[in-house]
Amino acid sequence: MDPNSAPDDDQILRNFHPWFRLYKDGRVQRLMGQDKVPAGIDPVTGVQSKDITINPETDLSARMFLPKAAGTAEKLPLLIYIHGGAFCICSAFHPFYHSHLNTIAAEANAVVLSVNYRLAPEHPLPIAYDDTWEAIKWAAAHSNGVGSEPWLNDHADFRCLYFAGDSAGANIAHSMAMQVGIDGLNGLNLAGIVLIHPYFGNDRRDELIAFLYPTMAGLDDPKINPAKDPNLRRLGCRRVLVMVAANDFLVDRGRTYYEALKNSEWEGEVDMVEAEGETHVFHLYDPAKEKARSLVKQFGSFIIQK
């Protein structure tokens, strides 16, 4: 044995910088997105949050957000949010998402369910999609007011249901809307989806996604590149807002998705908002800047307009 070689448990099998390293012994070392903050009452917006377990066997969980108006007004729109992070980092409890969704809950005056799906590569895609669909069905089971979660029973208006996400989460949000269109959702109506800087693949093989999604059906897999989906017209909502950033490495596929949906036989209304001079998920990194505040207002307005 070479005395200079590292033991097996320290040998890197795959290095996907800046996301994670996979070691020979199977350990995954995430290089970013691991920070978490507790739920509670946000001192700026007054939004309350709490963590819930949806499936204890798989550890599927979520963070819920309840705006100040809950209980003093009619039932509020329900937003189901899916976080980004290249399918392999971050969580619903990350400071970026906790802060962003406090702001969105207040701006849109909506109940928010932020899904904490299992991450690849330990849980390869499509597990993230399956987890999110399970969370959506769990939430929908509260539409008759007798579910296990009182915030949904008492405050969520299931006639005003929305999905949203950023980056990989936007990809999942689109896929969930497709599943609603194809399979239905307990008879509920999905009002719309908001896709922020969506990840919809690349023109060339993406080594990260190929590794995280070993059963992917090539570059034009409908989950990864929905513009090529022959069933795109079956998208299960009637309103879509696509948000892109001009300097985002993903901007071209976001624009292509917008054009494909607009030109398909889908009978709905799609709008696209482009932030000039901005990069991928800039609003999470610098929420105080003017364009980030504008993004939040546009997001909130989309939901308020119903």
How confident is the prediction along the chain (306 residues), in pLDDT tens digits per residue? 344 444 456 799 999 999 999 999 999 999 999 999 999 999 999 999 999 999 999 999 999 999 998 877 799 999 999 999 999 999 999 999 999 999 999 999 999 999 999 999 999 999 999 999 999 999 999 999 999 999 999 999 999 999 999 999 999 999 999 999 999 998 999 999 999 999 999 888 899 999 999 999 999 999 999 999 999 999 999 999 999 999 999 999 999 999 999 999 999 999 999 999 999 999 999 999 999 999 999 999 999 986
Q: Which two tokens stand for residue 67?
A: 């705006």
Q: Which two tokens stand for residue 125?
A: 């895609």
- Of the residues 100, 174, 280, 283, only one is catalytic, namely 280
The answer on 112 and 11 residing in a single domain is no
pTM, entire model: 0.96
Q: Which two tokens stand for residue 261?
A: 């949906």
2 catalytically annotated: no
What is the domain extent for residue 10?
Answer: 1-31
The answer on 148 and 89 residing in a single domain is yes
Helix axes 127-140, 168-183, angle to 10 degrees: 60
The answer on 127 and 269 residing in a single domain is yes
- Of the residues 49, 248, 264, 283, only one is catalytic, namely 248
**Could you give the CA distance from residue 138 to residue 132 in angstroms, rounded to a whole number?**
10
61 catalytically annotated: no
The answer on 78 and 23 residing in a single domain is no
Q: Which two tokens stand for residue 205?
A: 């093989």
**Could you give the CA distance from residue 186 to residue 200 in angstroms, rounded to a whole number?**
28
CATH number at 206 reads 3.40.50.1820
What is the per-residue pLDDT for 69? 85
- Of the residues 49, 167, 175, 264, only one is catalytic, namely 167
Query: In terms of C-beta density within 10 A (0-12 exposed, 13-18 middle, 19 or more buried), how is residue 57 classed?
Result: exposed
Q: Which two tokens stand for residue 254?
A: 């976001």
Q: Which two tokens stand for residue 190?
A: 């999905």
> What is the 8-class DSSP label of residue 250?
T
What is the per-residue pLDDT for 71? 78
Cβ neighbours of residue 101 under 8 Å, at least 6 residues apart?
Answer: 49, 63, 65, 81, 112, 114
The answer on 266 and 227 residing in a single domain is yes
**Could you give the CA distance from residue 147 to residue 62 in angstroms, rounded to a whole number?**
16
Cβ neighbours of residue 228 under 8 Å, at least 6 residues apart?
Answer: 220, 222
The answer on 179 and 86 residing in a single domain is yes
The answer on 113 and 7 residing in a single domain is no
The answer on 208 and 175 residing in a single domain is yes
Number of structural domains, the chain?
2
280 catalytically annotated: yes
The predicted-structure confidence for 213-257, as pLDDT tens digits, reads as follows: 999 999 999 999 999 999 999 999 999 999 999 999 999 999 999
The answer on 277 and 180 residing in a single domain is yes
Q: Which two tokens stand for residue 2?
A: 């070479």
Across the strands, what pairs with 242? 195, 272
What is the per-residue pLDDT for 205? 87
